[in-house]
Amino acid sequence: MLMFTKSGRAVIVNEDDKLVESSDDTGSATPFLIVACRAWDDISEELRSNCYSLMDVNRTDWFVSKHSSLKHLQMEPGSATNVAKSSFILHTDSFYPGYYSLECVFNNELFHVEGTGSIFIVADSASYLFKRAASFKLYDYNKFRMYRYLLFCVGIGGISIRIPGLDWPLCHCAVAQAPSPFDEHRRPGRGPFEIF
C-alpha cells in the first residue's frame, strides 16, 4: 500500500523511522503491507472487519506504531510495541469522497499531517484544516510496478515475453495480470489503482 496526503504528497519513512509527508511532489511513497490487525483478539467483532496493521515491506515484523508519549507515528519492531499501538481502524470517505482516515484502535485519534510534515496521532476535530490533514489516498503498491503486467506474445517458435516499448512483429499479444492481495477488498467504483 502507498499513502498520499490530501495535498498529493507521498507518505514516507525518514531516516529516524518516523512517518512524514514528502517535502515535495516528486517523493516516492514508502510501501507498506496491510496485514491482519495485531489487536484482533482485543477488539469487538464489529471493528474487526476494518482493523489493520501496517508492516514495512522491507522489514518483516516492523510496524507503523504510535509513540507512547509524543504521539508521532514511527516504525517499530513488533516485539517492542504494544499491539494496540500498531492497530488502526480504516475509515472510508470520512471527510472527502475517495479519501481515507486511519484511527487508533482504542481512542478517537487519527493520523494527521502537521504543518512540519510530521504525521502524528491527533484527536478528531470538525475543522476544515483537520479534515484535510487527516485525509489520505491509499493505493495498491503492486499496481504501480510495471513488471506485474506480463505481455505474452504468441509468434513463430512459441511463446515470448514482450518487453514494453519494443515492437514484436507477427505477434498476437494479450495481457495477463497477477492477482493482487487487495482485490478482494476493493470497493465498487474505485479507480484502477485504489484499494478498498
Average pLDDT, the chain: 77
Q: Which three cell numbers stand for residue 10?
A: 507521498
Q: Which three cell numbers stand for residue 92?
A: 472510508
The ranges assigned to domains in the chain are 2-140, 144-179
Q: Residue 94 CA to chain centroid, in angstroms?
A: 16
What is the tens place of the pLDDT at every residue in 30-53? 999 999 999 999 999 999 999 999
Under the banding of pLDDT at 50, 70 and 90, the label for residue 125 is confident
42, 86, 92, 148, 174 from 65: Cα distances, Å: 17, 4, 21, 30, 43
- The Cα–Cα gap between 142 and 115 comes to 30
- The Cα–Cα gap between 111 and 120 comes to 6
What is the tens place of the pLDDT at every residue in 150-177? 333 333 343 333 334 434 333 333 333 3
CATH code for the part of the protein at 2-140? 2.80.10.50
Amino acid present at 27: G
Q: What is the DSSP string of 18-35?
A: BEEE-SSTTPPPPPEEEE
Helix ranges restricted to H, 75-172: 128-133
- The Cα–Cα gap between 112 and 114 comes to 6
Q: 123-132, 137-146, 172-181 — which one is most confidently predicted on average?
A: 123-132
